[in-house]
Amino acid sequence: MDKQTGIKVEHVYKSFGKDVILHDVNLRIASGEIFGVVGNNGSGKTVLMKCICGFLKPDKGKIRVGGQQVGKECDFPENLGVIIETPGFIPDMTGYQNLKILAALRGKIGKQEIRDTIVRVGLEPNLKKPVAKYSLGMRQRLGIAQAIMENPEVLILDEPFNGLDRAGVTQMRKLLKELKAQGKAILLASHNAQDIEELCDRVHDMEDPW
């Protein structure tokens, strides 16, 4: 596969019982591109993202992320950052402590990279407040920090602006544009038409045929 292709989805199908959620999905997202998916709840946006991440196994088809076939050459793509649904953190620990634990799983980054990423998403790395006392917007910012802190080449972002105020949305849109300029391949789902219009190079409505 072309190394400049971050995500490649080929003839993917996924059903739950008699409910067909994904039908012959074909998708290619290049490095330095933001691809938007829109659609009503239940249209399959999150299911598609979970399949790309390896959290769900397609009934048929192939998915490659960064050149690796998901479910065959890797269970979870190595160079992938993801935020799907509400980010889960250890509630009685600080944001920094949570990210430090997650970073230790792969050992790719150290304390300074974690601190720099927290600042980048508009949070304070020295904040002693536990995550349980974070606002929804603060928790969402921390989720974005978790997704980008290891500098992945591919990002899967499911409603990443949930809970953010207007200033926060503006700041995170700017961040996504910076990540795109760095050559990241980004799959973005958002209910906000302005997010899609301002950020995405291409858009697919999940209600339409692929």
pLDDT of residue 157: 97
Say which residues have a Cβ less than 8 Å from residue 75's Cβ, sequence separation at least 6. 54
Q: pTM value?
A: 0.92
Residue 127, exposed/middle/buried by CB under 10 A (0-12, 13-18, 19+)?
middle
Q: What is the mean pLDDT of the chain?
A: 94
pLDDT of residue 115: 98
pLDDT above 90: percentage of residues in the chain: 86
- Contacts of 42-48 with C-beta under 8 Å, sequence gap 24+, read 43/206, 43/207, 44/14, 44/206, 45/158, 45/189, 45/206, 46/84, 46/85, 46/158, 46/189, 47/14, 47/21, 47/22, 48/9, 48/12, 48/14, 48/22, 48/206
Give the confidence band of 191 by pLDDT, cuts at 50, 70, 90. Answer: confident
Domains of the chain: 1-79+152-165+183-210 (3.40.50.300), 88-151 (no CATH)
